[in-house]
Amino acid sequence: MRTIKNVNFNGKKVLVRVDFNVPFDKQGNISDDTRIREALPTINKLVSDGASVILMAHLGRPKKGGFEAEFTLKPVAEYLSKLLGKQVVFTQELLGKEVSDLASSLKKGDVMLLENIRFYPEETKGGEELAKQLSLLGDAYVNDAFGAAHREHSSTAVIAKYFPNDKYFGLLMENEVVNLNKLMNNAEHPFTAVIGGSKISSKIGILESLLDKADNLVIGGGMRYTFYKALGHTIGNSLCEDDKIQTAQLLMQKAEEKGVNLYLPCDSVVAKEFSNEAETMYIDSMDIPDGWEGMDIGEKSIKQYCEVVLQSKTILWNGPMGVFEFPAFAKATNEIAKAVAKATVDNRAFSAIGGGDSVAAINQSGFADKVSYISTGGGAMLEFLEGKTLPGIAAIEN
């Protein structure tokens, strides 16, 4: 694997694509700095080698073409300066003489951040000229933006071809690729995938792919009601994608053919309306009465799912079991988090968790430091596990 780990970048100018797409609160402060912190190992490694580091990143989805105050990376540069304990050079422009002069004046250990790369509409189109111009700023290219690795953009993929012998995975990317490959190609059995979340439509690809890998497919979340309906049950006001009923049927059929144990929750916690304060009821069956909506999986399912998790050597979890944002319906998600942590610590299972909401859920549960690996990529991780080629990874590997 072409990683920066065993290379010394002393005296080199290194272009690094990072994922600094962080959320802001209403006051304009960074409300979650995880993505910035996760880029630190790579930045620090290059700095301690004696490289000058030129960071490229995007923020949000600017539409106009050109500068938009709402999407400037300036606050990120200031924040990063604090974390690194040194002033990060920030460029208002992305290209042009001012930027190339600044880049050439960088000394060993200096860090520079380019303004939001998506101020150039060419970026998301994978523009060649933009990639070429950016490539002129550095001697080597490092991709550490796993969260954007499923995009074939100028700075995430296209640029790599200008560095045929000097392109590398950053440390975060390397970690993602190693762990995800382990899941896909080298999993110890029994392998259990716990898949939940709201929509079956966003999970079909991963479910299909897991039918060839996993021994147990454990289904939760709102998407289970499409399966219930496919089995002829009543679902009340629960979430359902009517155009995916056939898909659910097919998935159950394939699981049976392939000898994969597909688990559906046998009970539910339901509510009168979609709110934390709603009147609730326990349903000890797969039939949800009219006027009620399924919000969480029930006690019996929790017990069964935790048992399956605790018998597993490999566990992948994507998608909360219930509407975990409401404390009243976070029970199953928290119990699963606890079981995954226990399987990891007590049974030495390999556990991987991914997906924006699932990562929020494991953090909320307090068990985040007891699992083997938490993916930083939502869409990128799903696509990897679907068996797709990720342009950002392929561009470094090939």
**Of 24, 53, 22, which Cα lies nearest the Cα of 139?**
53
Q: Is 220 a catalytic residue?
A: no
Under rule CB under 6 A, residue 155 binds ligand ADP? no
Under rule CB under 6 A, residue 198 binds ligand ADP? yes
Alpha-carbon distances, residue 241 vs 66, 225, 228 (angstroms)? 39, 9, 11
- Report the partner that residue 323 touches, choosing among Mg ion, ligand ADP, none (CB closer than 5 to 8 A by kind): ligand ADP
Q: Which of 23, 356, 366, 387 touches Mg ion (CB under 5 A)?
A: 356
Catalytic residue among 13, 35, 203, 229: 35
Q: x/- string (CB under 6 A) for ligand ADP, residues 369-398?
A: ---------x--------------------
Q: In whole angstroms, how close is the CB of 219 to ligand ADP at the nearest point?
A: 11
Q: In whole angstroms, how close is the CB of 259 to ligand ADP at the nearest point?
A: 26
How far apart are alpha carbons 260 and 285 in whole angstroms?
23
How far apart are alpha carbons 362 and 374 in whole angstroms?
9
CA angle 18, 65, 78 (to 5 degrees): 40
Structure tokens at 46: 């290059």
> What is the distance of C-alpha 3 from the center of its chain?
20
Q: Phi/psi of residue 282, each to 5°?
A: -95, 130
Dihedral of the alpha carbons of 297, 301, 302, 305, in degrees to the nearest 10: -120
Under rule CB under 5 A, residue 215 binds Mg ion? no
Under rule CB under 6 A, residue 62 binds ligand ADP? no
Q: Is 151 a catalytic residue?
A: no
Q: In whole angstroms, how close is the CB of 384 to ligand ADP at the nearest point?
A: 13
Contact 61, 15 (CB under 8 A): no
The residue (of 162 and 329) whose beta carbon lies closer to Mg ion is 329
Catalytic residue among 356, 366, 387, 388: 356
Structure tokens at 217: 């497919």
The residue (of 170 and 378) whose beta carbon lies closer to ligand ADP is 378
Residues forming the site for ligand ADP (CB under 6 A): 196-198, 202, 221-222, 239, 294-295, 318-320, 322-325, 355-358, 378
Residues forming the site for Mg ion (CB under 5 A): 356-357
Residues recognised as catalytic: 35, 199, 356, 379
